[in-house]
């Protein structure tokens, strides 16, 4: 299925981001890589910040960044979502930093995507709680706890402060598994 010009621009910008961080993303280069005129990006994005927000929104809408897949079994959807989040973040560290980093400007597209992804994750946490896989607690706080552990573990692994053979004797994925196991009341 052919991509729209906007989708092609966002994909080209994500590739540039992956290669060199936000500094590598210029609207002119994005247009060149997408095979459109150098002015085309300006027809779809007010500025670079809007283009970067579109990348972050796209990442939040994809199920591998955080939100559970609607098809997954409800009790395990939160755990599976966190494991996908870790894989995605380690595979796309610049997208991870962009998506979950600070934003100084308001962007409706990004706000909507973040709100929707968070709501889906909270529903998955509630399903895990109902199934006894997570303790009964405020689902918003439990979601924040799970995300904080996964986010922090990814940061530690990306910076070399966590590895299976060294510090922590675990990878980020292992810590997510541990947290779900500990919170679920099993220990092995």
Tell whether 59 is covered by a domain.
no
Shared-domain flag, residues 13 and 92: no
Q: How many domains does the chain have?
A: 2
Residue 72's pLDDT is 57
Shared-domain flag, residues 28 and 75: no
Where in the sequence is the domain holding 16, given as residue range(s)?
5-45
Shared-domain flag, residues 167 and 86: yes
What is the residue-averaged pLDDT of the chain? 90
Tell whether 55 is covered by a domain.
no
CATH number for position 15: 1.10.10
Residue 42's pLDDT is 93
Q: Read off the pLDDT of residues 44-54 as tens digits, 9 standing for 90 and up.
A: 999 999 999 99
Residue 3's pLDDT is 82
Tell whether 85 is covered by a domain.
yes
Shared-domain flag, residues 78 and 140: yes
Shared-domain flag, residues 96 and 150: yes
Q: Which residues contact 130 (CB under 8 A, 6 or more apart)?
A: 74, 75
The band of 187, judged by pLDDT with boundaries at 50, 70 and 90, is: very low
Answer for the pair 63, 124: CB distance below 8 angstroms, yes or no: no
Q: Which residue has the higher pLDDT, 186 or 8?
A: 8
CATH number for position 138: 1.10.357
Tell whether 56 is covered by a domain.
no
The band of 188, judged by pLDDT with boundaries at 50, 70 and 90, is: very low
């Amino acid at each position: 299925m052919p991509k729209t010009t906007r989708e092609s621009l966002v994909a080209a910008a994500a590739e540039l981001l992956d290669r060199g961080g936000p500094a590598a993303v210029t609207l002119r280069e994005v247009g060149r890589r997408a095979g459109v005129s150098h002015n085309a990006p300006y027809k779809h994005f007010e500025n670079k910040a809007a283009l970067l927000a579109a990348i972050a929104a796209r990442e939040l809408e994809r199920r591998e960044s955080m939100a559970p897949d609607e098809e997954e079994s409800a009790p395990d959807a939160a755990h599976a979502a966190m494991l996908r989040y870790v894989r995605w973040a380690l595979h796309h560290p610049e997208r991870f930093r962009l998506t979950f980093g600070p934003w100084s400007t308001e962007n409706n597209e990004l706000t909507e995507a973040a709100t929707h992804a968070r709501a889906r994750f909270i529903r998955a946490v509630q399903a895990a709680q109902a199934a006894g896989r997570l303790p009964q607690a405020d689902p918003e706080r439990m979601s924040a706890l799970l995300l904080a552990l996964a986010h922090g573990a990814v940061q530690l692994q990306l910076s070399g402060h966590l590895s299976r053979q060294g510090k922590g004797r675990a990878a980020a994925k292992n810590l997510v598994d541990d947290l779900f196991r500990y919170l679920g009341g099993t220990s092995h």
